Amino acid sequence: ADLNEQPPLKICEFYSGIGGWRYALEKATSREDHDVALAVDASTTCNSIYEHNFGQRPTQRRVENITTSDVAGADGWLLSPPCQPYTRQHAMTDVSDPRAASLLHLADLVEQAPPRFVCLENVVGFASSESRERWHGALRRAGFARPKCWHLTPTQTGVPHERPRYFECAVRTNSDEDWASPAPTEDAWPGLDRTPPMRLVKEFLEAPYALDQCADASALIEPYRVPAKTIKSDAAWCFDVVDATDAIPTACFTRSYGRFNRGTGSVLRVRQMLNDPDLASLGFSRTTPDARPFGDT
């Protein structure tokens, strides 16, 4: 059926962040009037950005405190549970990690007040976790078909950013026939054999603040320059430097971005926009990993 001829969907958005799932839903359905009856996140910063993006401020509360009355009557659930229990950095602590408790709580709720569909996103390690097994067990008991699962990253759609993630979507059919067969590692995603050309990083800079459109670009960028003391630190060699005018993917950034160098995200090089002669003007020199000691800060 044409979704534009249907009533708006009533949505519950858990771990709502800055609204990525909501943007995805709007793009997938080509409409922006869905009723996000519940958006929940524990981060004050994320909630402020979400409010800026959508004019609606999420509820700042623990997902573990959500009740069946909060989610009753929802058409869909969108969720991105904490990823730390399923990462190598945190030793794949899985269900023993306290941060997995909120998803296990939602597994209980989905049996008591099941929506029509659920969509979940997490790191790739979630695919082999006990948490996923418990979540899928709850979905099956609640009448959902086996979820469709994919391992995707933005570069597959031409977006210059590497962020491998596990995605799954499940629809409630009140039948468990397809649970009888072994679950595939992942399902085929239509069109991934036709990856579009990689776009430039500069295309994703906010237009009003794009450096090559500013009269005083140097002053604008100054607060965001990498400090000299950081460049001189033992770990400075490990910066992932990405040029805004190249079609080279940026790396996934973490909450430690700006505080730690190793594995926290890419550093944007804007030489052409600022008319700097070369990387040396920014305090960088070319080197190799074995040329200097490695530190965490």
Residues designated as active site: 83
Spatial CA neighbour of 241 closest among 265, 225, 211, 221: 265
Q: Which SS3 state, helix, strand or coil, does residue 176 take?
A: coil
Alpha-carbon distance of 119 to 10, in angstroms, equals: 14
Token pair in block for residue 141 = 């008991």
Pairing of strands 10-14, 76-79: parallel
Spatial CA neighbour of 178 closest among 189, 170, 166, 167: 170
Contact 79, 118 (CB under 8 A): yes
Contact 204, 268 (CB under 8 A): no
Residue 190 has φ and ψ, to the nearest 5°, of: -60, 135
Amino acid at 62: R
Amino acid at 193: D
